[in-house]
Amino acid sequence: MNISFKRRPKKQYWLKIEANNLVLFENGAYTGGLPYIKVLASIQAADALHSAAQYASWVKQHVSSTLNLLIAEDLYQLILSDMPDVPSTELASAMELKAAELLSYDIDDALIDIIQLPPEAYRSRTRMAFIIAMQKSPMEQWLSALVQVGIRVPVIDVAITQLRNFGLRVQNYSTSGLFHIEPNRSHLILNYNDEMVLSRTFDSGINDLDAIDDLPKPVSSNELFIEEEAQSAIQLESLALDIRRSFDYYESQLGLGAIAELNILCRKDHQHLVESLATRLGVRCNFVDPSDYLHLSSSSAMKAADLDADLIGSAFREALS
């Protein structure tokens, strides 16, 4: 999180660590063209975060010397907190003390990074920042295990910043949002002048909303489908209400004005949700297709629609840093 390249190499290798899965992928940029993503390999790995010694040799089969780590959402904490009123030279230490009050594990076993909200987001009120925290010991185990097989790790990053990266890449206005709909949950990020100022996760996903398509139904629709559609409609209304509350917080509490657009990342066969949300939110909503912004190698094991936003956003990390 706090280490980055000074200039972008032709390509970078990444290991995404999920709760029970590991994904190795490569990204880079073609000269004068779109960035690309190539998924190299993936493996089911029970408790992957704490299994470095078991899987380091598997990583070595695909990567020779340099690798970045990407930590999935469930394996770190993102906390919005006020910032102590201290000189900038003392801020890091002060934020560690603040994090110690909020974490469930000892601060000595924590890796901490902060993302400060822009000054416009507090306007004479208490300064705010996101605290990104994860346990240090599993990361040290991964770094040690990879070093033992000859792999250096210059960058550790987290999922939320990759979603932010893609949101910034596709935005058309300085007050914009990105909404990512996954199978079982969804994520909202609101940006202001190229800075993330709000992040929320909702329990509703495609599996909850899938019966909504806003199209005429065949006369033969059975009662079960009608019941599922009714439940999806309720879920969609509840989700839209939560999103509107986030917009209200952005506009009123943060004082950043109205959201100009919401870009929605989902599979193409669920584009109907974009129109459904636009009707309920009263905001310009745009479907975004990752293939318009990046290229997937023909040897990639996954299609654009199946790539998660973390991998997609990593392709734009260096360009926005």
* CATH code (residue 239): 3.30.420.40
Query: Is there a single domain that holds both residue 17 and residue 154?
Result: yes
Quick one: pLDDT at residue 210?
Answer: 72
Residue 62 placed within a domain: yes
Name the residue type at position 311.
L
Task: Describe the crossing of helices 52-60 and 136-148 by its angle, rounded to 10 degrees.
Answer: 40
Residue 221 placed within a domain: yes
- How many domains are contained in the chain? 2
Residue 244, domain extent:
164-293
Query: Is there a single domain that holds both residue 215 and residue 303?
Result: no
Say what the pTM is.
Answer: 0.86
Query: Is there a single domain that holds both residue 111 and residue 140?
Result: yes
Between CA 292 and CA 11 the distance in angstroms is 20
Between CA 49 and CA 135 the distance in angstroms is 10
Quick one: pLDDT at residue 2?
Answer: 47
Quick one: pLDDT at residue 7?
Answer: 47
Token digits for 16? Answer: 């995404």
Query: Is there a single domain that holds both residue 147 and residue 190?
Result: no
Residue 204 placed within a domain: yes
Query: Is there a single domain that holds both residue 236 and residue 248?
Result: yes
Quick one: pLDDT at residue 32?
Answer: 63
Quick one: pLDDT at residue 29?
Answer: 81
Residue 2 placed within a domain: no
Query: Is there a single domain that holds both residue 181 and residue 112?
Result: no
Query: Is there a single domain that holds both residue 47 and residue 96?
Result: yes
Quick one: pLDDT at residue 288?
Answer: 94
Between CA 162 and CA 63 the distance in angstroms is 22
Q: The CATH number of the domain where 27 resides is what? A: 3.30.420.380
Residue 6 placed within a domain: no
Residue 66 placed within a domain: yes
Query: Is there a single domain that holds both residue 97 and residue 208?
Result: no
Quick one: pLDDT at residue 229?
Answer: 67
Residue 5 placed within a domain: no
Query: Is there a single domain that holds both residue 131 and residue 238?
Result: no
pLDDT tens-digit profile, the chain (321 residues): 544 434 444 789 999 999 999 999 999 887 567 888 989 999 999 999 999 999 999 999 999 999 999 999 999 999 999 998 898 899 889 999 999 999 989 999 999 999 999 888 877 678 889 999 999 999 999 999 999 999 999 999 999 999 999 999 999 999 999 999 998 999 999 999 999 999 999 998 888 887 554 444 454 455 544 556 677 788 899 999 999 999 999 999 888 999 999 999 998 888 889 999 999 999 999 999 988 888 876 555 555 445 678 889 998 886 544
Query: Is there a single domain that holds both residue 109 and residue 246?
Result: no
Query: Is there a single domain that holds both residue 175 and residue 253?
Result: yes
Query: Is there a single domain that holds both residue 249 and residue 303?
Result: no
Residue 4 placed within a domain: no
